[in-house]
Amino acid sequence: MDKFETYRALHKPGDPFILANVWDVGSARMLAGMGAKALGTSSAALAFVQGSRDMGAITRDAALAHAEEIVAATDLPVQGDFENGFGDDPETVAETVRLAAEVGLAGICVEDMSYPDAKPYPADLATERMRAGAAAARAVGRDFFFVARADGVMNGVYDMEEALARVAAFDEAGADGLYVPLPPTMEDLARVCAATSKPVNALAAGAFTAATLSDFAAAGVARVSLGAALARTTHRVIFDAAEAMLNEGDFTPLAQSISGDQVQALIDKGTPGG
């Protein structure tokens, strides 16, 4: 199998893999060197890198250029976090899929929210957008994994019943995978998994950071992504160290770092051919 077929094969309900969301070449190669099976971009993490804002501020060209850089960084398949597909109409979603395939991505996620107002698209339009994305994915000419996201629960703009209805509609529309970020409980996540035979992505963030990979497996999840959580964890270290240094003249947090040799060894290991 090529890496695109391998990526699809990783998605096994009840036997989840970790999709390691990264934000630059160094983090991509480090995670690859540590044994990640696949990488993902993160719109929020990219916004941090660019000193911008998430949800509507990053352009499609910027997201594609960033994704292409991550794809070239390692030999691993890469999933793109492409917000709402960078447009309201189904045709734009389809074009985004085609462009994502051209830069070498193994797949993308598309949300059912409009930006910058962060409101859900009406159910019919949301489904047609996913149908267009799924059709474009099938027309790529090689394996391309299209994930439809129902983000309204996480954003507090619709409830679980609406999310489940959208999951069913997106499934019927041809999505390869489904994703309801941060449902209220693990039981609700299990309901999402039970609502479809397709692979379901879960987000390891918020209360779900207390769950283990085995917990996600028991719920029926096929993939656990990190979103911007790993990037924000890195920023937590920066914040704590800088607060101690700048406010108290205390450099002891820097003693918690790993050695440059360790970092370099992992980056070398994750480099193509390394």
| R_g of the chain computed on alpha carbons | 19
The per-residue pLDDT for range 178-188, each reduced to its tens digit, is: 999 999 999 99
Question: Whole domain around residue 45: which residue ranges?
Answer: 3-270
Q: Count CB atoms within 10 A of the CB of residue 188.
A: 16
Q: Count CB atoms within 10 A of the CB of residue 214.
A: 9
The per-residue pLDDT for range 30-70, each reduced to its tens digit, is: 999 999 999 999 999 998 888 877 676 789 999 999 999 99
Geometric angle at alpha carbon 25, from 255 and 83, rounded to 5°: 110
Task: Look up residue 216 and give its two tokens.
Answer: 């996600």
Query: In the chain, how many H helices and how many E strands?
Result: 11, 10
Assign residue 164 the CATH number of its domain.
3.20.20.60
Query: Which stretches of the chain drop beneath a pLDDT of 70?
Result: 54, 56
pLDDT of residue 56: 67
Task: Look up residue 259 and give its two tokens.
Answer: 């050695």
CB of 41 closer than 8 Å to CB of 70: yes
Tally of domains within the chain: 1
Q: At what angle do helices 123-138 and 160-172 cross, to 10 degrees?
A: 40
pLDDT of residue 53: 72
